[in-house]
Chains A and B, each alone.
Chain A
Amino acid sequence: MGLEPAGGVGENMRIAVASGKGGTGKTTVSTSLALCAPGPVQYLDCDVEEPNGHIFLNPEFSVAEHCEVTIPRIVEAKCTYCGKCRDICRFRAITMFGKTIMSFPELCHSCRGCFLVCEDEAIAEDKREIGLLEAGQAGEINFVHGRTRVGEAMSVPLIKAVKKKAWKDGLVILDAPPGTSCPFVETVNDVDFVLLVTEPTPFGLHDLKLAVEVLLNFKKPCGVLVNRADLGDDRVDTWCRESGIPILLKIPFERGIAEGYAKGRNLVESQPDLRKPLENLLREICS
């Protein structure tokens, strides 16, 4: 991974901002990077369970699309109760006892297995709405986010829908969900670089290690930003050094940043001194 400063920034570059642990500053950093971009930039909020980017970027939405997945509806009049649809479903979304057959839409993973095995055209396509996708403009920033329906367990199809809006060319910044399981993997799987935001605490370090493990598995270049760098100890530093993971920037704890964040003010607004280091960070990552 080259870290030499270069002139141009962000041609065909996709950067995900992720963390493992929640609340380390992913949204603060990703929205600020978008604000520091020298040219056109797109911001995708992939934390669809709890999207917060709009609070800091105040987009005006011009697009709203319902995100739906395909689920089966049993047409009892045509059903011969052969049981094939029940047998192929590994998620127990279809049950049958005697001549009663039922589907449980909330368990369905939309694999279409039941549609494919039914020989009696007894399964019709139904839709389950899993959330809403909105897109628009926040000043110079093209903004896209998704928001899952409350009570919906499945977030990956909505993350996919958000990512389908990603520009093919240009700089795209993705705000990842916390954790290291499927929503995180879906967000980072095809980006060029992952910026991991952590804090120098045992929780921050523990979850950073998990995130790095996933990224190393699919050989994804990554670097670390240490947030609230003076509230903790030096174990993150030591671990990064020993593991060969570069620390690209440290942001100290400032009550002003915390208070600005609380009010929904972005980092470059509440702490203008940070604009230059963030611009440099972006240039480093893109070079």
Chain B
Amino acid sequence: MKEIVVLSGKGGTGKTTMLGSLAFLAENKIIADCDVDAADLHLLLAPRPGSENKFVSGVKARVIEDQCSGCGTCDLCQFEAVTLAETATIDSLACEGCGVCAYFCPEDAIVLDENHCGTWFISDTDYGPLVHAQLFAGEENSGKLVSFVKSKARELAEETGAGLILVDGAPGIGCPVIASLSNTDIILAITEPTQSGWHDLERVLDLADHFKVQAFVCLNKWDLNPEMATEIKHSCQDREVEFLGEIPFDPAVVSCQINGIPVVGNDDEGSAALAIRGIWNKLKNRL
């Protein structure tokens, strides 16, 4: 079984657009949306409601007011979650769930509640099964939810004999992205020919080196800046990262998003769809 994660560093460069199209093109696969704090893939793949499940991870501390003597021991919190007045209160957004306050409270006045912090789904789509999730607004634990979505996708792939898992990653290079890299075979990095896009791509490729995952690069909206597109290609060459292709700016990409369909596979495929097909043809031969 192989696994491809689509990453970008910078947000809004076309990860989900690319993944939606790969979901149409690839055969016998499971699709996983690992951008759990702003999951958008379901907007393209129109999942039919399947199973919906609670995601519980970590704990949040809560003060039982009646038992609190206001001694202030819990102020050893390192996350500035405790406010002291007559009794202590804990800001659940700031609480890291370390449990130190509860451990040291001399009155046993702090309880640790299980933290129900998101929902995860297995849905059926026209393109194959989709594992996706939504972290509740403002929650932490995105890395854990990403790992969970990935493990469910893997289980499902084993059950169904799928040969491929397609993973839509989060922007950035932090916690959720690092979690999406475990057991991955290939990173497909998609960026745009802008200073920011390039800067952030370099950080993604550094991350790929750090975790020793093979990376490939493709460029979206390359014609917005052809000179920089060429420079990025050269810099990939210098890093010995294979460049798989470039997608032109195509207004059809926005209209497909509005209609909730992948860019490839619709009746009037334009220049972007053609380019994505080319990239997939190369990528599948590298698996």
Give me the interface of A with B, judged by CB distance under 8 Å. 20-24, 27, 47, 49-50, 52, 55, 88, 90-91, 109-113, 116-117, 148, 150-155, 177-185, 189, 201-203, 206-207, 210, 213-214, 217-218, 231-233, 255, 258-259, 261-264
Whether the pair A152, B196 counts as a contact (CB closer than 8 A) is: no
Chain B residue nearest to A228 (CB atoms) is: B254
The CA of A201 and the CA of B38, in the complex, are separated in Å by: 14
Whether the pair A111, B10 counts as a contact (CB closer than 8 A) is: no
Chain B residues near A50 (CB-CB < 8 A): 9-10, 171-173, 196, 199-200, 203
Chain B contact patch, size range: 35 or more
Whether the pair B38, A185 counts as a contact (CB closer than 8 A) is: no
Instruction: State the main secondary structure of chain A at its contact with B.
Output: loop
Segment among B136-144, B240-248, B264-272 that sits at the interface with chain A:
B136-144
Cross-chain pairs A/B with CB under 8 angstroms, 9 sampled: A21-B40, A52-B10, A91-B98, A112-B78, A155-B174, A185-B138, A189-B94, A262-B194, A263-B225
| Residue from the set A50, A154, A258 with the largest chain B CB neighbour count within 10 Å | A50
Give me the interface of B with A, judged by CB distance under 8 Å. 8-13, 16, 37-38, 40, 43, 58-59, 76, 78-79, 93-94, 96-100, 103-104, 135, 137-140, 142-143, 170-179, 192-196, 199-200, 203, 206-207, 210-211, 221, 224-225, 228, 251, 254, 257-258, 260
Whether the pair A90, B78 counts as a contact (CB closer than 8 A) is: no
The CA of A21 and the CA of B171, in the complex, are separated in Å by: 9
Whether the pair B137, A262 counts as a contact (CB closer than 8 A) is: no
* Least CB distance, B23 to chain A, in whole angstroms: 16
Whether the pair A201, B140 counts as a contact (CB closer than 8 A) is: no
Chain B residues near A23 (CB-CB < 8 A): 10-13, 171
| Residue from the set B171, B174, B195, B225 with the largest chain A CB neighbour count within 10 Å | B174
Whether the pair A110, B78 counts as a contact (CB closer than 8 A) is: yes
A262: contacting residue among B94, B178, B179, B195, CB under 8 A:
B195
Whether the pair B43, A206 counts as a contact (CB closer than 8 A) is: yes
Q: Known: A117-B103, A262-B224, A263-B195. Contact between A182 and B140, CB under 8 A?
A: yes
Chain A residue nearest to B36 (CB atoms) is: A181
A151: contacting residue among B9, B178, B194, B228, CB under 8 A:
B178
Whether the pair A185, B93 counts as a contact (CB closer than 8 A) is: yes
Whether the pair B194, A261 counts as a contact (CB closer than 8 A) is: yes
Whether the pair B171, A178 counts as a contact (CB closer than 8 A) is: yes
* Least CB distance, B123 to chain A, in whole angstroms: 16
Whether the pair B38, A55 counts as a contact (CB closer than 8 A) is: no
